[in-house]
Homo-oligomer: A and B are copies of this chain.
Amino acid sequence: MSSQFGQLFRIATWGESHGGGVGVVVDGCPPLLDLEEADIQKDLDRRRPGQSDIVTPRKESDRCRILSGVFQGKTLGTPIAILVQNEDARPEAYSEMETAFRPSHADFTYQEKYGVRNWQGGGRASARETIGRVAAAAVAKKALRELAPSLEIVAYVKSVHELTAEVDPSAVTMEEVERNSVRCPDEAAAARMIDLIKRTRADGDSLGGVVECVMRGVPAGLGEPVFDKLEADLAKAMMSLPATKGFEIGSGFSGTRLTGSQHNDAFEMREGRVHTRTNRSGGVQGGISNGEDILLRIAFKPTATIARKQHTVTTAGGEIDLAARGRHDPCVLPRAVPIVEAMAALALCDHALRQRAQCRR
């Protein structure tokens, strides 16, 4: 299905950037978890527009309502429906899109696939779609407290354009990440990134970069052999995010430049249990977590919407130069951070339930 994720902790998102709202239905959630709207709101606030001067100025409070599945502050085990209404939609800003395809957006491909599209904004391809993911992940995190009590998921901006941060994945905290508006825990790099983003926006252009995500305290045994390897499901989770062009786990592409004797992670006993000396595997071996930190990097392309005129074609087959008018982020990276965390939580929660079902662990 186009809009469902997960086998046991299954979410179904819906909604367009311009329409009645966006939302999600979470099916398969364990019962008796404490859950209230504030738990979800906290995460939605981290991804919402207008939170700083380097993101889109669209004004959305993104207030969520839980419509079902929770009773007297506890999850019931039945579907949890969560709704966020659109408030600041300005369809008039998109009137050119009725007849023209924006470069590197999904206008053309939606039209080719469906023969129709909601041209008043990005429709399902808008970043507003990720609200449902973040809301569902707030629920998943509640389940994970029981399923994987030691788990910590921290994502952060690793690079913007040519600027790369120095970060220690084994120690970085969410507090350090949230300290600045670009969500980069290396303060010096963050300052340069913020400056670059502002200059680039002033220049009518946009930027991309890399988000890194570390999962610490993952129980060994999550993931499955063959198709549903943990790294395969994490790759799908991340590459399903808008604007992603690449995914790495552990040594990634740079690992191809090592020999086996350099790359292999020797096992040793430490603190009474099996550990690896190095972690080029990135916490996963043969598709299954080994208890070490899982480390991912995800490449986000520069925002497709830019203020400059660009060449494109019309639905009638003509060619024109088009300039964007809709509000947009000059760089998606800061707002991508909580969304990457959300996808990591959804994938881990689903696999933890699968593991409990099959292996009672």
Contact = CB atoms under 8 A, between A and B. Distances in A.
A337 to B, nearest CB: 15
A66 interface: yes
Contacts of A359: 30-31, 77, 113-115
A14 B143 CA distance: 19
B103 A264 contact: yes
Interface stretch (A48-56, A183-191, A232-240): A232-240
Interface string A99-121: 00101111011101111111010
Contact of A2 (B228, B285, B303): B228
B220 A109 contact: yes
A334 interface: no
A263 interface: yes
By CB atoms of chain B within 10 A, which of A21, A233, A255 has the most?
A: A255
A4 B27 contact: yes
B299 A253 contact: yes
Nearest to A163: B257
Interface secondary structure of A, over-half rule: mixed
A214 to B, nearest CB: 16
A210 interface: yes
Interface string A18-62: 011111010111111000000000000000000000000000000
Contacts of A212: none
A264 B221 contact: no
A209 B256 contact: yes
Contacts of A256: 159, 161, 208-210, 245-246, 299-302
A249 interface: yes
A236 B235 CA distance: 6
B124 A1 contact: no
Interface in A181-238: 200, 204-210, 220-229, 231-238
A8 interface: yes
A302 B103 contact: no
A129 interface: yes
B2 A227 contact: yes
A308 to B, nearest CB: 6
A89 interface: no
Contact size range, A: 35 or more
A147 to B, nearest CB: 9
Interface in A86-143: 101, 103-106, 108-110, 112-118, 120, 123-125, 129
By CB atoms of chain B within 10 A, which of A78, A112, A231, A282 has the most?
A: A78
Nearest to A31: B114
B358 A77 contact: yes
Contacts of A76: 16, 114, 116-118, 123-124
A98 B345 CA distance: 34
Contacts of A318: 269
B71 A101 contact: no
A266 B283 CA distance: 40
B5 A1 contact: no
B251 A301 contact: yes
26 contacts: A8-B8, A13-B79, A14-B79, A20-B65, A23-B81, A28-B357, A30-B360, A71-B116, A76-B123, A77-B116, A77-B359, A101-B274, A104-B260, A104-B265, A104-B281, A109-B221, A109-B287, A109-B289, A112-B290, A113-B223, A125-B286, A245-B248, A246-B247, A258-B302, A274-B317, A353-B358
